[in-house]
Amino acid sequence: MSSAPVTIQDPASGSSASLLPSLGFNCFSWRPALALAEGPATPEMLWAEEEFAQGSGRPSRSGTPLLFPFPGRIRAGAFEFEGNRYQVEPSDGLGNAIHGFALRAAWRVVEQTTEAITAEYQPSIDDPDAVGQWTGDYRLRATYRVVGTRLDLSVAATNLSDHPLPFGFGTHAYFRLPLAGATDDAEATIVRAPVDAVWNAAGLVPDGGTAPLGALGESLPAGGALAGREFDTPYRFASGARETVIHDPRSGVTLTQTFDESMRCCVIYTPGHREAICLEPYTCVPNPFELEAAGIDTGLLVLAPGETYRTAIGLEVSVA
């Protein structure tokens, strides 16, 4: 499989997106056509390490990592399901497994048009080392489509095994700050997320307890300036949550991320370089198996043999 990036483009608007199928089918560049008073006509909305397009960057630190069959961490990489114990290779530098297998693997492109691309990841075909680390085989199919000022992602996960398959799914997009490069003040960015509690965590692994939003997150539901705040924090989505919003009040640029009711957790992360922010919708709380065993509803999903889970995440940018 070629390690070269692939670009899709909307001919009508000139908007484009670039992906790396050989490294997690990661969408690392999105350039929507915007009517900005200053700056490029198609500004970059995603952040990626300089070497990422060549396939040598870290898969969890650039672009849009797709997290499956679990988002976030599993403590020590160990979990039990239906009486069987499984061990996932630790990968976070702290002894925990993190973000699943799909983001690090080469995907197969199965369909491509000018403005859309579809690829698949199946451990038994694409990543044999991952097979024994999970409960069974599955197929993850994803399609990206660029149209106007939107970038749409649709996902289908199918259980290919003959027994139930537990899973979680999430995305980890690095949204470039300042938005569209329209200003030079990332800290003025307004961040809004419909959350109502924070999941307590020890060593970045949720322990099952929740707490009020507190000083760090109290402005999130209505929206507040980033203003130097540092996040690596799992939040609980409020009932009915369907979107997160990032807004640059100086340029009027707004980026809205939409998702469906299956998303239960929002991890917000600010890298140390302060050039991006991640608002990560997850179907489940990180470390779900341990918490479910303690009677805590985490949003962990289970597919019956042959069953398929479908979801969609949309990104749209506008200028006021």
Please state, in angstroms and rounded to a whole number, the distance separating the CA atoms of residues 298 and 288: 6
Looking up tokens 């259980």, which residue turns up?
Answer: 159
pTM beyond cutoff 0.95: yes
pLDDT of residue 2: 63
Cβ atoms 242, 259 nearer than 8 A: yes
Nearest to 247 by CA among 140, 166, 319: 319
pLDDT of res. 73: 98
Give residue 183's pLDDT: 67
Contact 165, 84 (CB under 8 A): no
Q: In the structure encoding, which two tokens stand for residue 74, read together?
A: 């599993």
How would you write the pLDDT of the chain (320 residues) with one tens digit per residue? 568 999 999 999 999 999 999 999 999 999 999 988 777 889 999 999 999 999 988 899 999 999 999 999 999 999 999 999 999 999 999 999 999 999 999 999 999 999 999 999 999 999 999 999 999 999 999 999 999 999 999 999 999 999 999 999 999 999 999 998 866 799 999 999 999 999 999 999 999 999 999 999 999 999 999 999 999 999 999 999 999 999 999 889 999 999 999 999 999 999 999 999 999 999 999 999 999 999 999 999 999 999 999 999 999 999 98
Predicted local confidence at residue 19, as pLDDT: 98
Q: What's the pLDDT at 39?
A: 78
Work out the angle at residue 220's Cα, subtended by the Cα atoms of residues 215 and 226, and round it to the nearest 5 degrees: 75
The full set of domains in the chain, from first to last, is: 6-182+268-319 (2.70.98.10)
